[in-house]
Amino acid sequence: MRIGLLYDILRWEEKNLVEESKKLGFKLYPLYTKDTVFFSNELKLNEDIDIFLQRNVSHNRALVTSFIIEQMGYHVINDYNNLILCENKIFTTYLLSKHNINVPKTYVAFNRISALEYAKKLGFPVVVKPVEGSWGRMVAKADNADTLYSYLEYQEFTNQKYKDIFYVQEFINKPNRDIRVFVIGDEVPVGIYRVNEGNWRTNTALGAKALPLKIDEEIREIALKVQKIVGGFFLGIDVFEDKERGYIVDEVNGVPEYKNTVRVNNFNLSEFLLKKIAEWVKR
Amino acid sequence: MVILKCPVCGGDVSVEDDALPGELVEHECGAQLEIIKQNNRLNLRLAEEVGEDWGE
């Protein structure tokens, strides 16, 4: 099998994919997108490649390169359509909600005054998130209207892409952890708890500790249902546990990182992913 | 190993022969560097800072 690897930074995951491809006897063609130039009248590549794997850390580069490579007639995991749905939190939340997946109660407002006013409907504390973003960056919890006002004002005067779209969510009173499960093809092979004793945000990028997760049938079903709704072959799904409402899907990641998942589960995710891709290509 | 020059301090930086572009290297001068390929040879440049759109 010949796999193209679209990437911009060679993180642990990408190095591991290179190593595991070698072990499996697959040919891996790394395409370093930062120094690649694409011409619209040259929609072909020199290499003969069966499928591409999208691993760009920059959402912009991921979305654009998935799109261009797909125009060349290749399949990309994940495709640009899936990346659009995952990278924009509004799209993910509303799409999942429409399909009766439990998500945090959320509203979107287009001015600061409405954003402030309607927080009362949710009840404080509320969470404000950038429409696009990762690693818990700029995700803030407002305990009262005064704090919320300050966050909204900060957002409005930043230079972020969606600075005048306010995405406000109820605060889920979860334990000091959340869940990350991985969907690969039609399977949910592995997951972790992300535990943070000192920060309500449970991103590992913010210091949360990864612990192995035993995947129960309910979470498996939710993960596969989410995959059917947003598409994509390789997803990292973040789930909260709520005492009354059960599992609540928070976010879906289209280019998931998995270094800590591999470490604590002793599960070779790169190998599993590559083998599943090979099965899919053969079909 | 290949010996390259740090673009910040000019010091030597050794990287593997089969290093790939995009690999990050910490140099003793404190610079975070990124391996690139120019004219089919490995080289170094200052690594890009974390962008607003970076992440999973």
DSSP states of A140-159? EEESSHHHHHHHHHHHHTS-
Interface probe, candidates B34, B43, B54, chain A, greatest A C-beta count within 10 A: B54
Q: Is the pLDDT of residue A198 over 90?
A: no
Candidates B22, B48, B53; nearest CB to A132: B53
Arithmetic mean of pLDDT, A81-99: 98
What is the model's pTM? Answer: 0.95
Candidates B22, B34, B55; nearest CB to A59: B55
pLDDT digits over A50-83, tens only? 999 999 999 999 999 999 999 999 999 999 999 9
Q: Give kind and range of the element (H or E) at residue A29.
A: strand A27-32
Assign A151 a pLDDT band (cuts: 50, 70, 90): very high
Q: Please state, rounded to an integer, the average pLDDT across all residues of chain A.
A: 96
Determine the distance in angstroms separating the CA of A133 from the nearest CA of chain B, rounded to an integer: 6
> What local confidence, expressed as pLDDT, does residue A228 receive?
98
Nearest CA in chain A to B21: A32
Determine the distance in angstroms separating the CA of A139 from the nearest CA of chain B, rounded to an integer: 13
Query: CB distance A35–B55 less than 8 Å?
Result: no
Residues 3-22 of B with CB under 8 A from A: 20-22
> What local confidence, expressed as pLDDT, does residue A98 receive?
98
Nearest CA in chain B to A7: B22
Within A88-232, residue ranges assigned H as helices are: 89-98, 112-117, 119-122, 145-156, 217-230
Arithmetic mean of pLDDT, A93-121: 97
Within A157-205, residue ranges assigned H as helices are: none
Assign A224 a pLDDT band (cuts: 50, 70, 90): very high
Does ipTM top 0.85? yes
Candidates B24, B37, B55; nearest CB to A134: B55
> What local confidence, expressed as pLDDT, does residue A203 receive?
87
**Residues in chain A closer than 8 A to B52 (CB atoms):** 133, 160-161
pLDDT digits over A122-144, tens only? 999 999 999 999 999 999 999 99
**Residues in chain B closer than 8 A to A9 (CB atoms):** 22, 24, 34, 48
- A44 or B25: which carries more pLDDT confidence? B25
**Residues in chain A closer than 8 A to B48 (CB atoms):** 9, 34
Cα separation, A211 vs A191, in Å, equals 9
Cα separation, A67 vs A214, in Å, equals 36
> What local confidence, expressed as pLDDT, does residue A207 receive?
85
For chain A, say whether B56 makes contact (Cβ under 8 Å): yes
- Contacts of residues A16-21 at CB distance under 8 Å and 24 or more positions apart, as own/partner, are A16/A262, A16/A270, A17/A53, A17/A55, A17/A270, A17/A273, A17/A274, A18/B20, A19/A270, A20/A268, A20/A270, A20/A271, A20/A274, A21/A274
Determine the distance in angstroms separating the CA of A9 from the nearest CA of chain B, rounded to an integer: 5
> What local confidence, expressed as pLDDT, does residue A72 receive?
95
> What local confidence, expressed as pLDDT, does residue A118 receive?
96
Arithmetic mean of pLDDT, A103-128: 96
* pLDDT digits (tens), chain B, 56 positions: 999 999 999 999 999 998 999 999 999 999 999 999 999 899 999 999 999 899 99
Q: Is the pLDDT of residue A213 over 90?
A: yes
**Residues in chain A closer than 8 A to B33 (CB atoms):** none
Arithmetic mean of pLDDT, A23-45: 94
Determine the distance in angstroms separating the CA of B36 from the nearest CA of chain A, rounded to an integer: 8
Give the percent of chain A with pLDDT over 70.
100
Arithmetic mean of pLDDT, A195-205: 88
Query: Nearest CA to A261 among A169, A177, A182, A158?
Result: A182
Q: Is the pLDDT of residue A44 over 90?
A: no
Nearest CA in chain A to B34: A9
Assign A199 a pLDDT band (cuts: 50, 70, 90): confident
**Residues in chain A closer than 8 A to B34 (CB atoms):** 9
